[in-house]
Amino acid sequence: MLTPSLVVYVMLFLASPVSIIGQIDSSAVHDSPYGVIYNHLYYLQDDSYQPEKAALSFPENTVKVSDKAIKLKKILDGKGIYVDINRLPKNNNFTDTVSKENIYFIDRHDERIYVEKIGEAWHYSRTTVEMIPDMYREVFPFGSTFLDELHGPFWDTKLLSVSMSKWLGLLILLVFTSILFSLVNRLTRWLVSRIIRRRVALPDEVYKDLKKGSRVFALFLSTQFILYLLPMFQLPIRFNAFLIKGLDILSIFFLIFLVIRIVSIVFHYLNKATQQTDNTLDDQLMPVLNRIAQIIIWVIGIIYILDSLDVNVTALLAGISIGGLAIALAAQDTVKNFFGSIMIFLDRPFQIGDSISFNGIDGSVEEVGVRSTRIRTFANSVVYVPNGKLADSIVDNMGLRQFRRFKTELGITYDTPPKKIDLFIKGIRHILANHPHTRKDNFEVHLNSFGASSINILVYCFIDTAEWAVELKSRHDILYAIIFLAEELGVSFAFPSQSLYIESLPKGDSGSETNSPEERYAQGIQRIERFFETGDL
pLDDT at 146: 66
Q: What are φ and ψ of residue 514, in 5° steps?
A: -70, -35
Question: What is the spatial distance between Cα 537 and Cα 526, in angstroms, rounded to a whole number?
Answer: 10
3-class secondary-structure state, position 300: helix
426: buried, middle or exposed (CB in 10 Å: 19+, 13-18, 0-12)?
middle
What letter represents residue 275's amino acid?
A: Q
Q: Distance of CA 436 to CAs 172, 465, 485, 529, Å?
A: 83, 11, 18, 11
pLDDT at 379: 81
pLDDT at 431: 94
What count of other Cβ atoms lies within 10 Å of the Cβ of residue 61?
A: 6
pLDDT at 511: 46
Name 291's Cβ contacts closer than 8 Å, sequence gap at least 6. Answer: 370
Question: What is the spatial distance between Cα 33 and Cα 98, in angstroms, rounded to a whole number?
Answer: 17
Q: Return the ∠ at Cα 382 (arms to 379 and 385), rounded to 5°.
A: 120
In tens, the pLDDT along 115-136 reads 999 888 999 999 999 999 999 9
Closest by CA to 248, choosing from 309, 316, 303, is: 309
Q: What is the DSSP string of 404-420?
A: EEEEEEEEE-TTS-HHH
3-class secondary-structure state, position 8: helix
**8 A C-beta contact, residue 36 and residue 124:** yes
Write out the H or E segment, with its range, that includes residue 344. helix 332-347
What letter represents residue 380's amino acid?
A: N
Per-residue pLDDT of the chain (537 residues; tens, 9 = 90+): 445 444 444 444 444 544 455 666 667 888 999 999 999 999 998 888 899 999 999 998 888 999 999 999 999 988 888 888 888 999 889 998 888 899 999 987 888 999 999 888 999 999 999 999 999 999 888 876 666 666 666 766 777 777 787 788 788 889 999 999 999 888 888 887 766 666 666 677 787 888 888 889 999 999 999 988 888 887 888 888 888 889 999 999 999 999 999 898 888 888 777 777 666 666 667 777 888 888 899 988 988 888 888 777 776 666 666 666 656 555 566 777 777 777 777 777 887 778 888 888 888 888 887 778 888 888 888 888 888 888 888 888 877 777 888 999 999 999 999 999 999 999 999 999 999 999 998 899 999 999 988 999 999 999 988 777 888 999 999 999 999 999 999 999 988 766 666 665 455 444 445 678 888 888 888 888 887 777 666
79: buried, middle or exposed (CB in 10 Å: 19+, 13-18, 0-12)?
buried
pLDDT at 484: 93
Question: What is the spatial distance between Cα 411 and Cα 221, in angstroms, rounded to a whole number?
Answer: 85
pLDDT at 254: 93
Q: What is the DSSP string of 172-235?
A: HHHHHHHHHHHHHHHHHHHIIIIIIHHHS---HHHHHHHHHHHHHHHHHHHHHHHHHHGGGG--
In tens, the pLDDT along 278-313 reads 666 666 677 778 888 888 999 889 888 888 887 777
Closest by CA to 388, choosing from 342, 340, 424, is: 340
What letter represents residue 218's amino acid?
A: A
Question: What is the spatial distance between Cα 109 and Cα 75, in angstroms, rounded to a whole number?
Answer: 13
**8 A C-beta contact, residue 463 and residue 403:** yes
Question: What is the spatial distance between Cα 151 and Cα 163, in angstroms, rounded to a whole number?
Answer: 10
Handedness of CA 99, 104, 109, 112 (dihedral sign): negative
pLDDT at 328: 56
